[in-house]
Structure 1
């Protein structure tokens, strides 16, 4: 039953790759999400998306997302992060935590429904739609709760590609400072590359290392969320509002989070052949592209409009918050 949707996700990933080749400024993963969102707005496609394609797209957006995040750990070396210096590491972590807390508060203040405040906070503070997919799996968020955060983080990440380069020189940043700012504020890794590459290879290198430092925060934040959900479920069992047969108890530490940490440790302490790293990078990109198409295909822009601009307001305010905090971090560094 999952094969048709899985196949469509694979074809969409290939199309996203083709778009990236034709327009290098468009990150491949951003193209994958955008294709999913576009297809979801076509009335003729909706019966298939909610019918025969649904099992495969669901499999892609959940299982493949988790495998891709595990492989993402192979991009991270503890020693590369340590090379930033303790000030840059501390300020990067502070930006993530303050953005997460501030965005979550904004989401609650704007009275967004369900898990949307948590998912938007995760996506904007860590690594975009990939982080949203990881968190939604842990808290068992509904597809409609996940769709709006994915649309917002894609929109704001795309805006960053066009806006941040225009502010580089007016803000008086050197190329390395600009790279640091991009890495600390832009959501998705591909969007970071697209935004930072105009300042040269040194700026791009700094941007990627800073960005991957933010990605490393995915493990503890998702693990904490999983512990909170586990305790909520245990309390619900105790007072009789839930049963083990009605809802599965979430793990204390999700398996994919443990796998992500293991991949980081392997990359840090075991010398891997370049061919292995290249193959893992290709597989990770392909898996995340398929997963993000699946997430994008659940987005209904009409539902986003019906929020009365509340969700869009939270997204734009969070985008400004992370950019301002990251700029402050650059000044301290």
Structure 2
């Protein structure tokens, strides 16, 4: 067996291990990162595509473990934080972009990804800005790197501050970029944090559509924005579990399967953090992304804790 064949076999074995209930979210992420940086991901394109599909199906599956009324209540209660957070993040991102002299399009993409929904928001906004491929790649690499850090850092900070699961779920949903990282960090913290964090994050992700449409109108762009289908699926799943409570055991099994699929997704996401991705992140975009992220995370947590 040659080196490439051994690497593929090890990758499949690691993936299979992450599919078992004995491996948690944080372990899967670290294993994926270690595999990519140590041995190299044998299927970088395929695993990136698979992680996106599995993540979306998993988010839909998580809806079966929730009641629709609970989802709507969480969305309503976090609306003000979400609106203020998005507006504040975009404004801070603009100022920091000027301060660090980051390329205008790259700065806007990093700010938009931080404000709303990471890679999904960046992908939706890039055509409106007519961003170059390398500008989009740098923004995605910056946000992706910080997402990987958030998965490990947020639960550690929360345990240090002894945050309850509800507060952590809201904080993660508002302050972490991508949906995958929110559900990953929240799943480490607890089931209640996972339910709240996922709902808050998906509520926030819905803002992709109006913001992109607004910017498209301002720039007279023909780019269209749509509501992500997996969010619709999540709401439908929560609705089904609410309408047919007699199947609670089945809904619970689907939700449990979805949580384990998230662990597999985190391994694939970690395996995407390659040396090439790290090289794409220039010092100015990285400084802007880190500074913006720290400010947003800190101010959001202070607001949730009622600090002066």
Range class of TM-score, shorter chain: 0.5 to 0.7
Larger mean CA deviation between 269-278 and 103-112 belongs to 103-112
Deviations 1:6-60 (A, max 9, x none): 9987644443466x837xxxx51x4333333322323x536x3xxxx24521430
Seen in structure 2, the aligned counterparts of structure 1 residues 167 and 325 have a Cα distance that, compared at 3 Å, is: same
Match for 2:36 among 40, 47, 65? 40
Match for 1:62 among 52, 58, 65? 52
In structure 2, the residue matched to 1:200 is none
Match of 1:21, SS? Answer: coil
Tell me if the contact between 2:51 and 2:269 (Cα under 8 Å) persists in the aligned partners: yes
Match for 2:298 among 306, 323, 326? 323
In structure 2, the residue matched to 1:239 is none
TM-score normalised to structure 1 length: 0.63
Match of 1:41, SS? Answer: helix
Match of 1:217, SS? Answer: helix
CA RMSD of aligned residues (A): 4.4
In structure 2, the residue matched to 1:258 is 232
Seen in structure 2, the aligned counterparts of structure 1 residues 157 and 291 have a Cα distance that, compared at 3 Å, is: closer
Match for 2:289 among 289, 311, 314? 314
Counterpart CA distance in 2 for 1:68 and 1:61 is 10
In structure 2, the residue matched to 1:172 is none
In structure 1, the residue matched to 2:155 is 161
Give the superposition deviation at 1:223.
Answer: 3.0
In structure 1, the residue matched to 2:203 is 217
Tell me if the contact between 2:18 and 2:264 (Cα under 8 Å) persists in the aligned partners: no
Tell me if the contact between 1:12 and 1:290 (Cα under 8 Å) persists in the aligned partners: no
Seen in structure 2, the aligned counterparts of structure 1 residues 135 and 82 have a Cα distance that, compared at 3 Å, is: closer
Match of 2:207, SS? Answer: helix
Match for 1:93 among 57, 82, 98? 82
Seen in structure 2, the aligned counterparts of structure 1 residues 327 and 107 have a Cα distance that, compared at 3 Å, is: same
Identify unmatched segments of 5+ residues in structure 1: 169-174, 198-203, 237-248
In structure 2, the residue matched to 1:191 is 185
Tell me if the contact between 1:64 and 1:287 (Cα under 8 Å) persists in the aligned partners: yes
Alignment of 1:166-181 (within 5 A): 166-168=160-162, 178-181=164-167
Alignment of 1:283-298 (within 5 A): 283-298=257-272
In structure 2, the residue matched to 1:242 is none
Match of 1:132, SS? Answer: helix
Identify unmatched segments of 5+ residues in structure 2: 1-6, 127-132, 177-181
TM-score normalised to structure 2 length: 0.67
Match for 2:251 among 277, 301, 305? 277
